[in-house]
Amino acid sequence: DAGVIQSPRHEVTEMGQEVTLRCKPISGHNSLFWYRQTMMRGLELLIYFNNNVPIDDSGMPEDRFSAKMPNASFSTLKIQPSEPRDSAVYFCATRGQPYEKLFFGSGTQLSVL
Amino acid sequence: KQEVTQIPAALSVPEGENLVLNCSFTDSAIYNLQWFRQDPGKGLTSLLLIQSSQREQTSGRLNASLDKSSGRSTLYIAASQPGDSATYLCAVVTGANSKLTFGKGITLSVRP
């Protein structure tokens, strides 16, 4: 398996633009997590899906953020409109069962100018 | 609310030293605990996973222990090497939703 695949690896955009981050989980993994990492706050859980259903979105900072998982092999995290304070590395991670290891993608480095 | 603490935030040691990285958590009702490694500009790689019923796990020069009742885990690295330089994060799984809560990590530098 190729692991968790995220795209793009880097995204530079201007304030106010829409940004869409993509994630392809490991085949067979039931749970998918979106995290944001910054120096100040470390890793923050944004939203968590189980069997394609959003379970906990309490970490989504504002209505500007939305996430979808239309099927078991694809998820998106959208920011509209983007702001400079959204600049961070966004990670997607997946696992099979709650007692199993979590596998991370390589992340998307987002810079909002 | 579960909180995970890793102190110190950074550590620098000479090559060859045995070292211990600490992780503490506030809610002892965990399902498991994982230690991760993160290299600069990269994602996190899972090193060891300890289930709540286990006391320790070993992989090569790494040994992780878990004391659930006291809310502590340690990652022991034997005979450290410059290639061990990275940030090490611990995370615990708790709650009905099996969420992971991460510590902020310890940035380790092993000097040649």
Amino acid code (one letter) for B79? A
Neighbours of B57 (CB within 10 A): 19
What whole-number distance in Å separates Cα of residue A98 and Cα of residue A30? 9
What whole-number distance in Å separates Cα of residue A99 and Cα of residue B68? 16
The conformation of residue A26, written as its DSSP 8-state character, comes to P
Does residue B97 carry a pLDDT above 80? no
Q: Are B89 and B101 in contact, with CB atoms under 8 Å apart? A: no
Q: Give A108's strand partners.
A: A90
CB–CB of B42 and A107 under 8 A? Answer: yes
Q: Are B32 and A99 in contact, with CB atoms under 8 Å apart? A: yes
Q: How would residue A99 be classed by pLDDT, with cut points 50, 70 and 90?
A: confident
Task: Please provide residue B55's backbone torsions phi and psi, each rounded to the nearest 5 degrees.
Answer: -105, -30
A5 touches chain B (CB under 8 A): no
Q: Per residue in A69-92, pLDDT tens?
A: 999 999 999 999 999 999 999 999
CB–CB of A104 and B89 under 8 A? Answer: no
Which residues in chain A are closer than 8 Å to B98, comparing Cβ atoms? 31, 98
Helix, strand, coil percentages (3-state) for chain A, rounded to 5, are: 5, 55, 40
* Range with lowest mean pLDDT among A94-98, A109-113, B5-9: A94-98
CB–CB of B97 and A55 under 8 A? Answer: yes
What whole-number distance in Å separates Cα of residue B11 and Cα of residue B20? 10
Nearest by Cα to B104 from A44, A10, A42, A95? A42
Which residues in chain A are closer than 8 Å to B44, comparing Cβ atoms? 91, 93, 102, 104
B21 touches chain A (CB under 8 A): no
Per-residue model confidence (pLDDT) at position A2 = 79
Tokens at residue A36, please?
């944001």
CB–CB of B44 and A31 under 8 A? Answer: no
Cα A102 vs. chain centroid, distance in angstroms? Answer: 14
Which residues in chain A are closer than 8 Å to B107, comparing Cβ atoms? none
Mean pLDDT, chain A, as a whole number? 94
Q: Which residue in A104, A108, A111 has the most chain B C-beta atoms within 10 A of its own C-beta, making it the best mutation to test that interface? A: A104
